[in-house]
Structure 1
């Protein structure tokens, strides 16, 4: 479909996942350069009006690829050739995306980004890489991979925390074994002297075990059989949220203990 654009306002948002800054111009990484007179140079007007950018800005989704045709001889013309959803594995449209229920929640994005920032500043590099991989898997519809990488992130945080506190690693380096070794070192029962949060903290052991069960039964960590598990988006999102939340508590608490011991 041919698209003619209207100029955006000076403060209009023109963000797009395919937009990069080149040599004095905006470059569209989704532009197809195989046709005659095609270019990958774009403009604020194109970025503002393009459906790919609108999906990113209005819907809040980046789980798609796109193909655009931009003509170098006519600065007022471009063509959105196709937009392909990486979750549904089929072509999509802006109207369909506006009603889609597979868009990652804003709260999930905020939680994951906050945890990644925490890992980066605290030198939890393996956990950072694992969580970023889980985020990409969730974005691209690989829900089995989301569970696998979410649990790997949690295990990386536990292992790094034990190493930072100078504790020996357990013989069993899975999430359950690491948690059993770590929970005593974290002195979780001493966080809240009033005891009001004791039951809440006590549920962490169950949550860690259940996350391990998800990986054993629904992830791709142990390979795939002839009939892979049918993992829903909401379960994958729950896994990454739970892992990031527990990992955040572990990092905060281990850092607190290290600071107290240093003082």
Structure 2
């Protein structure tokens, strides 16, 4: 039986500080379902990222449509946060940020295949707790990265807007 990830508490604290109600509640529910409800945990992992993308886009004054799926939301947010691979020059960061985009897209696809948002049908694969743990952990890590990047960008903008001291 998985005991949880060492990162669970750090992610929980970051998400609670960002939004103690909706976003943190989604994270907590995903953690609780990893072992006994892997399809539900996978669905919540994807929804957590969707929540974070929408919250930050809204805080940034950016528009998004209800029909925007997770990859679209992430691409919009990556542009706002300057996290798109084209926004950086260092090759290793281009690679990492491209991989982050791939993770987000893959979590959306995994939710469609193994989550509980669609009928499982008679022949569909069934996720194990380890699949749920991977999905939830990746989602939590990405969510905290997006939040900390948003906070860093806000701090940069505040410093740039502050009057110079003599």
Give the TM-score of the pair, scaled to structure 1.
0.55
Secondary structure of the structure 1 residue equivalent to 2:7:
helix
Q: Is the 8 A contact 1:165 1:258 kept in 2?
A: no
| Structure number with bigger Rg | 1
Q: Is the 8 A contact 1:158 1:179 kept in 2?
A: yes
The higher relative CO (CA closer than 8 Å, separation ≥ 6) is in 2
Written as runs of structure 1 = structure 2, the 5 A alignment for 1:8-47 is none
Unaligned runs of 5+ in 2: 160-166
What's the Cα RMSD here? 2.2
Unaligned runs of 5+ in 1: 1-101
Q: Does residue 1:175 correspond to 2:74, yes or no?
A: no
Secondary structure of the structure 1 residue equivalent to 2:2:
coil
Match of 2:163 in 1: none
Inter-CA distance 234–138: structure 2 relative to 1 (3 Å threshold): same
Written as runs of structure 1 = structure 2, the 5 A alignment for 1:1-263 is 102-105=1-4, 108=5, 110-123=6-19, 125-139=21-35, 141-188=36-83, 194-226=90-122, 229-263=125-159
Deviation at 1:138, TM superposition (A): 1.2
Secondary structure of the structure 2 residue equivalent to 1:166:
coil
Structure with a larger share of its residues in helix: 2
Inter-CA distance 167–218: structure 2 relative to 1 (3 Å threshold): same
Deviation at 1:174, TM superposition (A): 2.2
How many Å separate the matches in 2 of 1:220 and 1:200? 29
Deviation at 1:191, TM superposition (A): 8.4
Number of equivalenced pairs? 158
Secondary structure of the structure 2 residue equivalent to 1:103:
coil
Structure with a larger share of its residues in strand: 1
How many Å separate the matches in 2 of 1:194 and 1:217? 35
Deviation at 1:127, TM superposition (A): 1.7
